[in-house]
Amino acid sequence: MAAAVFRSYDQHELDIQYSPSSCVDDVDSYLREYARLSARARTEIDGFVEIRYGDTPEQVVDYFPAGTSGGSLLVFVHGGYWQELSRRESAFMAADLTERGVSVAVLGYGLAPRYTVPEIVTMVSEGVRWLCRNAAGLPGSPRRVVLSGSSAGAHLTAMSLLDEAGWHRDGRRPAEAVSGAVLLSGVYDLDPVRRTYVNAPLGLDADTALACSPQRRPLAGLPPLVVARGDNETAEFARQHAEFVAAVRRAGGSVNDLVVRGRNHFDLVFDLGAPGTSLGAVVACLVE
């Protein structure tokens, strides 16, 4: 019998638990659709522009303005386990949202192994705060900001809200600058992640995993959250979701806990801009 490396899981089992593709037949089909819809958005949405928010080559936002002024800005942080994907494949919701008066900013950031997880966290936090500071002056003049992120992007979005030093420098609390956040299929405790194959390019040790885990941070003072996952995800993703929701609620936070039937780790994001879906309906309440 193989030795347990985390809870009751041996190494093979734990690696499967943190492999979202183990729940789908063809992960590449979703990735191709991300790229197709994102390319179409860059071609077809009037006013698309790339905006730099920092000094490194990766600190660029793909910005899609709404056709009308004064609406919301949805900021999206892509997933990919801090080591894959980019802003170029992550604008799949832009066409649906801009048509409804919501501008979209897809946040680019550097990836491992070139950057460490703490460096990636810092980049995303800087990008979120930059967009909050400058939203009113962007095309479409958004009047409020809603954050969203999927998988590692949900982790990074949560960490951006918990960057106390950064928000203090900006002179605002996150709940004052951000109207809400939508966290999809997130990883909120990195300790089990560091014990899996995922950690090879990340190089997380126990201390860094702890410091970069939203689950282990004080969670008071957050804006309203939507914490969602598909019902076709691994048991560990379900546990991470449930424990983070419980922790935020213990801290007094407002959380809409959503498990979406018929969705998985990769296709849940398609519902962000679709108000006829359960996820799209709660997003619409935040942005419209």
- Give 105-133 pLDDT, tens digit per residue: 999 999 999 999 999 999 999 999 999 99
Which of 232, 239, 157, 160 minimizes the C-alpha distance to 192? 239
Residue 159, pLDDT score: 98
Q: What is the CATH number of the domain that holds 241?
A: 3.40.50.1820
Cα gap 22→12, rounded to integer Å: 12
- Is the model's pLDDT at 1 over the cut of 80? no
Residue 71, pLDDT score: 97
Domain span including residue 200:
4-287
Residue 2, pLDDT score: 85
Give Cα 42 to chain centroid, integer Å.
Answer: 20
CA atoms within 13 A on the CB side of 72: 23
Structural element, H or E, at residue 162: none
Structure pTM? 0.98
Cβ neighbours around 28 below 10 Å, total: 9
Instruction: Please tell me the chain's helix, strand, coil percentages from 3-state DSSP, rounded to the nearest 5.
Output: 45, 20, 35
Give me the chain's average pLDDT, please.
97
Quick: pLDDT tens for 13-56. 999 999 999 999 999 999 999 999 999 999 999 999 999 999 99
Q: Is the peptide bond before 142 cis (omega within 30 degrees of 0)?
A: no
Strands 103-107 and 60-64: antiparallel
- Is the model's pLDDT at 168 over the cut of 80? yes
Quick: pLDDT tens for 48-81. 999 999 999 999 999 999 999 999 999 999 999 9
Quick: pLDDT tens for 178-205. 999 999 999 999 999 999 999 999 999 9
Quick: pLDDT tens for 3-13. 999 999 999 99
Tokens of 64: 């899609």
What DSSP state is assigned to residue 84? Answer: S
Strand order from edge to edge, sheet including 255-264: 49-52, 60-64, 103-107, 72-77, 144-150, 180-184, 225-232, 255-264
83-94 average pLDDT score: 98
Indicate the number of domains in the chain: 1
Residue 70, pLDDT score: 95
